[in-house]
Amino acid sequence: MPNPREFLRSLFDAALAAASPAVCVPPQLPDPATVKGRIVVVGAGKAAAAMAAAVENAWSHDLHRVTGLVVTRYGHGVPTRRIEVVEAAHPVPDAAGQDAARRVLAAVQGLKADDLVLALMSGGGSALLALPAPGVTLAAKQARTRELLKGGASIHEINAERKRLSAIKGGKLAAAALPARVLTLAISDVPGDDPATIASGPTVPAPDDPAFPFCTTRVIATARDALRAAADAALRAGVTPLILGDRIEGEAREVAKVMAGIALSCKFAAQPLAAPCVLLSGGETTVTVKGGGRGGRNAEFLLALAIALKGEPGISAIACDTDGIDGSEDNAGALLGPDTLARAQNCGLDARARLADNDAYGFFAALGDLVVTGPTRTNVNDFRALLIGA
């Protein structure tokens, strides 16, 4: 058996590599020589800046024809030459995001049929393109966003509300680009990979929308792609992988109980497969905040998992957000071992009390078990791996 912590971290790294814009963007780009008119690049999301850089590298010989603007989260920018990168707030929008959204909308107006709009969309884009609908204020959008986040709303519920309150989402950006062609490359952070939900679908009109025939959308990286890459890495290390699913949702602590049950079944009943094995899953869990602590959904999942496993020997786990930010904290997630509860007790940490206070961050920080990557500049949502030793 490989070293559990090193092995689990290597699986996470393999998942991130598979979703890197430098890997997934270039093969999906058209030949700029086929575009007779202007090429305008716009975009939004945690991966938007890295996607823009990948476009510039791939189109280096035609870069003089490219203009545009993308907006990403603070700290997620990268240097670019022709495509401007603006940083704004996430998950609660701010004035910088509102101004950037106005500029993105203006950038696609007045185009002709020979022009191309290349839209680079990824998770986080919905909050970053903060252009309120007529009659809606930015303050109202901010308040509603905080309410939904604290209440444990799903990404589908949050994005549906964002569309309702927006002047740019739900295909409105595509409509503004008419009659230009719009090609959207999207890195999916939503369970099910519906293009209309990724960043709330600014360039994905409804089938009866007049912009629909002019728009093409390609989802170029997903949670399933990342999980498959991790599974391949596990096989190379001699550990049998099982992908449980890429669209798992629900309260993080409840999902943890189910995962603990599956892991114990593998260890003691060799079902659904025998150890040594690793259980992989993705999607987006939620946290209904009732306490006053710190911690995102992945850390909360692991804390609940530790309690459910009760220190069972031979079971370790990692849970991280692929964007490098677990909720609004500075960690991607954390690592869990069979000794976690015992070490916590020696440090005077009460796992159940920390869970009740939604303080998973504080729990794992005290143990030195946080996973800190910094911004990864991609986003295919949660990554979880449970290693069950022989």
CB atoms within 10 A of CB 55: 28
Q: Exposure string (b/e) for 324-339, b if CB count within 10 Å is 16 or more?
A: bbbbebebbbbbbbbe
User: What is the model's pLDDT at position 390?
Assistant: 67
User: What is the model's pLDDT at position 259?
Assistant: 98
pLDDT in tens, 23-39: 999 999 999 999 999 99
User: What is the model's pLDDT at position 101?
Assistant: 96
What mean pLDDT do residues 138-159 have? Answer: 77
d(CA 214, CA 286): 36
CA distances (Å), origin 152, targets 177, 287, 308, 351, 355: 35, 5, 22, 21, 15
User: What is the model's pLDDT at position 335?
Assistant: 98
Confidence tier at 57 by pLDDT (50, 70, 90):
very high
The domains located in the chain, with CATH, are 4-16+224-388 (3.40.1480.10), 21-221 (3.40.50.10180)
What mean pLDDT do residues 212-237 have? Answer: 97
pLDDT in tens, 73-124: 999 999 999 999 999 999 889 999 999 999 999 999 999 999 999 999 999 9
Beta-sheet strands, E only, within the chain: 39-44, 66-73, 84-88, 116-122, 181-187, 215-221, 240-251, 277-286, 315-321, 333-336, 370-371, 382-388
HSE-up of 277 (CA within 13 Å, CB side)? 21
CA distances (Å), origin 17, targets 80, 260, 271: 21, 27, 30
Lay out the sheet containing 315-321: strands in order across.
240-251, 277-286, 382-388, 315-321, 333-336, 370-371
208's tokens: 């009866």
CB atoms within 10 A of CB 19: 29
pLDDT in tens, 237-250: 999 999 999 999 99
Please indicate, yes or no, whether the overall pTM of this predicted structure exceeds 0.85.
Answer: yes
Which of helix, strand or coil describes residue 32? helix
- Give the pairing type, strands 39-44 and 66-73: parallel
- In this model, does residue 161 exceed pLDDT 80? no
- In this model, does residue 362 exceed pLDDT 80? yes
- In this model, does residue 159 exceed pLDDT 80? no
192's tokens: 């099910």
Dihedral pair phi/psi, residue 357, rounded to 5°: -95, 10
Return the amino acid letter for 113: A
Q: Name the burial class of residue 60, with classes exposed (0-12), middle (13-18) and buried (19+) by CB atoms within 10 angstroms of its CB.
A: exposed
Closest alpha carbon to 171 in 209, 219, 144: 209
Where are the alpha helices (H) located in 165-284, listed in sequence order? 172-177, 223-236, 252-269
- In this model, does residue 127 exceed pLDDT 80? yes
Rounded to the nearest integer, the mean pLDDT of the chain is: 94
Give CA angle at 216 (210, 222), nearest 5°: 135
Q: Which residues contact 177 (CB under 8 A, 6 or more apart)?
A: 108, 109, 111, 117, 203, 211, 214
pLDDT in tens, 274-312: 999 999 999 999 999 999 999 899 999 999 999 999 999
The partner residues of 388 in beta bridges, in order of sequence, read: 277, 315
d(CA 369, CA 4): 13
41's tokens: 């690049």
86's tokens: 């603006």
CB atoms within 10 A of CB 228: 18
Closest alpha carbon to 192 in 217, 214, 165, 219: 219
d(CA 17, CA 182): 27
d(CA 305, CA 5): 16
Torsion angle, alpha carbons of 18, 125, 189, 185, to 10:
-50
